[in-house]
A and B are shown apart, each in its own frame.
Chain A
Amino acid sequence: MNRSRRLKLRIFRTVVLLLMGAFFLLPIGAMVEFSTRGNSVISPRTLDAWVLIAQTPGLVKGIVTSLQLAVITSLGMLVLLLPTMVWVRLRLPQISRIVEFICLLPLTVPAIALVVGLKPLYIWININVTPSVLALAFAYLILVLPYSYRSLDAGLAAIDLKTLSEAARSLGAGWITVMWRIVIPNMPSAILNAGLLSVALVLGEYTVASLLNFQNLQVEVAYVGLTNAPTSTAVAVGALVLAFVLLMVLTLVGGRLQQHNYIPGQRA
């Protein structure tokens, strides 16, 4: 590459990264600014809106609910999906395409359309099973399927599942032992990835909860926002920063785990 083109490329990259950085950081910065505003134009910066989060019962309840839902959904996803995917790879490779198709199906059914069909189902669940808001986890497990599937599929593709499980089985291990002591320890970053993506999705979910009349974090944030915009904005930016930190940790930890687990010749 000649010098003038290298210089041009460097200028291009700097300009693009600066402009994009500004576009993406500005709204987040503005949220912080907005949530620390005083009552009038001249009043000094205040953390009143942030303090008010703890004093708004609805918000606290919404935060707790969404965190519970996030944990239930990620664990439920792992319990349902991981054994199925391992089983399909080992025993029923002929239906792997069907499982993949079903797992990616939620991408083509918009949540707002799915909720139309979920509504009668949830009326039934509310009456016959439980009226609890935690029943939302049933629907959330479907919403996280595509992302979890891709993450776990990449993880399973990177290990020699057949050899590992046959070795374990020939040494007398049962299927539970194979799952717990062979599969899970061999793909920590894929499992962490799938779990954190599910957590991020559940913490940000609004469509299904609001249309099924459940109060989760986002529904509360939208509701409080009608009367007290700064406090709502404070919660929103707080949740966003939390998601950022979670996924940044994932990238750093995940990168290290992957290197640690690297098997030569497995991946290009």
Chain B
Amino acid sequence: MTAAGNPALNTAARPTRGGRRLSLSWLGVMPFFVYVGLFLLLPTAIVVIGSLTAPTGGVSLTNFVGIDKPYMVKAFTLSLSVSAVSAVAGAFFGAVLAYAVVTGNPRGLLRRSIMSASGVLAQFGGVALAFAFIATFSTVGFVTVFLKDHGIDIYANGVWLYDPPGITLIYVYFQIPLMVLVFLPALDGIRPQWREATESLGGSTWHYWRYVAGPLLAPAFLGCTLLLFANAFSAYATIAALLTNGGVYVPLQIQALLTSETEQSQPGLAQALAVAMILIVVIVMTLYTLLQRRTTRWLR
């Protein structure tokens, strides 16, 4: 079948810029824009507008006042601190692992397997991760029982798996692989010649890291840490599966508001919490993008 005889197609193929041709071009991207309009932009708009609508109607910030309650403040403090600690720990260990990977054979099997394993494990949030840590560290978990048989009781001061320290440990499990994925390109950009140049000028390993590699990698490291923070802050499934009786974290507060009767009395509070989450993530991700841009300028 040929389209040569079809005048409409021939016109479309000609690189002219008429009004009709332009509208035809726009028609091609309409399905995409209609779809994201319906399922991404509309829900976001519902959340934002809902959060700014007072229970009695009209624009107001009443819903955000609900965040001022002590348990809401605690929810934000806990969510933010767990995200921050897991991001810093994940960034540090992830960077160390990435360095161990990058100093190996760039085309080797080890590097390829670690990269694809990181791809899987960075996505390994959710319910399965909660079960994995229950199987490992709960009171009947593999490691707990094993250590107890050898005279070490990791729960001598009470069970911490379901508390912030435990949640942080669980989050680090998906933060490290994500760090490897996002930080490795920056490490790859570091040239061996720079080290050789440092050495030929009489610099030591410490000088190299302090004055050459460190400053070059700092923006990338900081940016990736921010990405990890946003990643942990958005996470919901793991804590939901782990803390089945609810807990004082922002996502769980939204869940409670969405599924319980309280929503009837405060329809806008869930939206206000969602907007607060979106705002925090947007700020963090904007900083990440700026730092990332700076990194790509240096490491070519």
Contacts and interface: CB of A to CB of B under 8 A. Distances in A.
Interface in A81-111: 81, 83-84, 87-88, 91-92, 95, 99, 102, 105-111
A205 B117 CA distance: 19
Interface string A194-230: 0000001100111100110000001001100110010
A210 B240 contact: yes
Interface stretch (A13-21, A52-60, A67-75, A183-191): A13-21
B262 interface: no
A120 B46 contact: yes
B299 to A, nearest CB: 13
B19 interface: no
B114 to A, nearest CB: 8
Interface string A233-268: 100110110011001101100010000000000000
A138 B38 CA distance: 10
A30 B97 contact: no
Nearest to A120: B46
B45 A92 contact: no
Nearest to A25: B117
Contacts of A35: 135
Contacts of B117: 24, 244
Given A84-B31, A110-B236, 13 more contacts: A5-B205, A13-B103, A13-B104, A23-B173, A26-B136, A95-B29, A111-B236, A117-B46, A142-B39, A172-B3, A204-B123, A218-B128, A221-B127
A225 B116 contact: no
A24 B93 CA distance: 12
A18 to B, nearest CB: 10
Interface string B1-18: 111100001000100000
Nearest to A166: B13
A-B pairs, top 6 by smallest CB distance, nearest first, are A117-B43, A110-B234, A34-B135, A113-B274, A30-B142, A27-B132
Contacts of B248: none
A205 B39 CA distance: 17
Contact of B124 (A118, A204, A232): A204
B121 A24 contact: yes
A196 to B, nearest CB: 10
Interface in B265-300: 270-271, 274-275, 277-278, 281-282, 285
B285 to A, nearest CB: 5
Contact of B258 (A116, A121, A201): A116
Contact of B136 (A30, A107, A206): A30
Contact of A110 (B13, B124, B233): B233
Contact of B237 (A81, A114, A173, A207): A207
A141 interface: yes
A69 B115 CA distance: 27
B241 A206 contact: yes
A106 to B, nearest CB: 7
B126 A226 contact: no
Contacts of A24: 117, 121, 173, 176-177
A27 B121 CA distance: 12
B44 A107 contact: no
A251 B104 CA distance: 18
B25 interface: yes
B296 to A, nearest CB: 13
A200 B117 CA distance: 13
Nearest to B26: A92
Nearest to B281: A108
B229 interface: no
A33 B143 CA distance: 11
Contact of B132 (A31, A111, A169, A226): A31
Contacts of B120: 200, 240, 243-244, 247
Contact of A9 (B13, B103, B136, B240): B103
A29 B142 contact: yes
Contacts of A247: 116, 119-120
A99 to B, nearest CB: 7
A223 B192 CA distance: 53
B197 interface: no
Nearest to A107: B285
B142 to A, nearest CB: 4
B131 interface: yes
A12 B142 contact: no
28 contacts: A9-B103, A17-B97, A20-B100, A24-B117, A24-B177, A26-B136, A27-B133, A27-B136, A31-B135, A34-B142, A35-B135, A83-B28, A84-B32, A87-B25, A92-B29, A95-B29, A99-B29, A99-B32, A112-B254, A116-B254, A145-B36, A172-B3, A206-B127, A221-B131, A225-B241, A248-B116, A250-B116, A251-B113
A114 B271 CA distance: 10
B84 to A, nearest CB: 16
A206 B239 CA distance: 11
A134 interface: no
A221 B46 CA distance: 31
Contacts of B13: 169
Contacts of B28: 83-84, 87, 91-92
Contact of B128 (A33, A87, A204): A204
